[in-house]
């Protein structure tokens, strides 16, 4: 894999809460957040036991704000939902993410996004890349110095590998500033949605603190 000629600007990649009690209210909150800063993607994990009806209501509600702000809408792991709900792709997580790539790609098609969680493993990242992942995700990183090996992996990947990298981080403006330009996407944890100051304010501070 050749070193990219020029790195793309860093963008924000958001992760929804695993449980959403009111799909309409969360969709409205997303619209406010998307208007506050440049957001590339929203990933939706579904908690175990979420009914098909609740999942459908949430995904349908999120389409409008995502389309209005050109935000890619991804589902976590449940790749069988991508085509039926017209989603933009899937994010594979957990210990079997690499093994699921072939089945997931067949289910979602060549034009949909396939991302893979690689934790803190360079080997998993390179393997995912060889299997044609559209991006790899590393983390979580809670502070810049909490895990030096993970931090250096993110820096190395961005400098040396063409496949885009998502850095999963704590929703901390100082951490975002330190990593801005060191990863293609920064993915603050879902705790930002319940922050007392509001998710829109947190997202705006993440981008502003990083010069975005």
CA–CA separation, 85 and 115 (whole Å): 18
DSSP per-residue letters across 61-88:
HHHHHHHHTT-EEEEES-GGGTTTTT-S
The answer to whether residue 52 is domain-embedded is yes
Q: Of 193, 44, 172, 168, which Cα lies nearest the Cα of 117?
A: 168
Q: What are phi and psi of 12, to 5 degrees?
A: -90, 145
Contact yes or no for 16/55 (Cβ under 8 A): no
CA–CA separation, 78 and 96 (whole Å): 13
pLDDT of residue 212: 46
CA–CA separation, 23 and 90 (whole Å): 20
The answer to whether residue 71 is domain-embedded is yes
Contact yes or no for 170/140 (Cβ under 8 A): yes
Look up the pTM and report it: 0.93
pLDDT of residue 209: 57
Please report where in the chains the tokens 């990933």 appear, as a residue: 43
The answer to whether residue 3 is domain-embedded is no
User: Hey, what are 42's tokens?
Assistant: 């929203």
pLDDT of residue 4: 40
Q: Cis omega (within 30 of 0) on the bond before 140?
A: yes
**Which residues in the chain land under pLDDT 50?**
1-5, 212
Tell me if residue 12 falls in helix, strand or coil: strand
The answer to whether residue 5 is domain-embedded is no
The answer to whether residue 135 is domain-embedded is yes
The answer to whether residue 50 is domain-embedded is yes
| Total structural domains within the chain | 1
What is the domain extent for residue 178? 11-206
Specify the CATH number for the domain of residue 149: 3.20.20.70
The answer to whether residue 63 is domain-embedded is yes
The answer to whether residue 156 is domain-embedded is yes
User: Hey, what are 127's tokens?
Assistant: 């393997």
pLDDT of residue 9: 84
């Amino acid at each position: 894999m050749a070193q990219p000629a020029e790195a793309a600007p860093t963008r924000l990649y958001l992760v929804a809460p695993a449980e959403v009690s009111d799909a309409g209210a969360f969709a409205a909150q997303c619209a406010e957040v998307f208007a506050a800063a440049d957001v590339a993607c929203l990933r939706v994990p579904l908690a175990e036991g979420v009914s098909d009806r609740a999942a459908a209501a949430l995904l349908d509600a999120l389409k409008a704000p995502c389309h209005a702000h050109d935000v890619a809408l991804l589902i976590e792991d449940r790749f069988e939902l991508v085509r039926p709900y017209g989603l933009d792709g899937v994010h594979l997580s957990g210990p079997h993410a690499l093994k699921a790539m072939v089945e997931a790609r067949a289910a979602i098609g060549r034009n949909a996004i396939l991302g893979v969680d690689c934790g803190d493993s360079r080997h998993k990242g390179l393997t995912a890349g060889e299997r044609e992942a559209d991006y790899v995700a590393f983390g979580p990183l809670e502070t810049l110095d909490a895990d030096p090996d993970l931090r250096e992996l993110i820096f190395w990947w961005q400098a040396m590998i063409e496949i885009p990298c998502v850095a999963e981080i704590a929703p901390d403006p100082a951490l975002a500033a330190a990593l801005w330009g060191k990863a293609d996407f920064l993915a603050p944890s879902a705790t930002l949605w319940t922050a007392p100051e509001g998710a829109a304010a947190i997202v705006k501070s993440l981008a502003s603190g990083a010069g975005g």
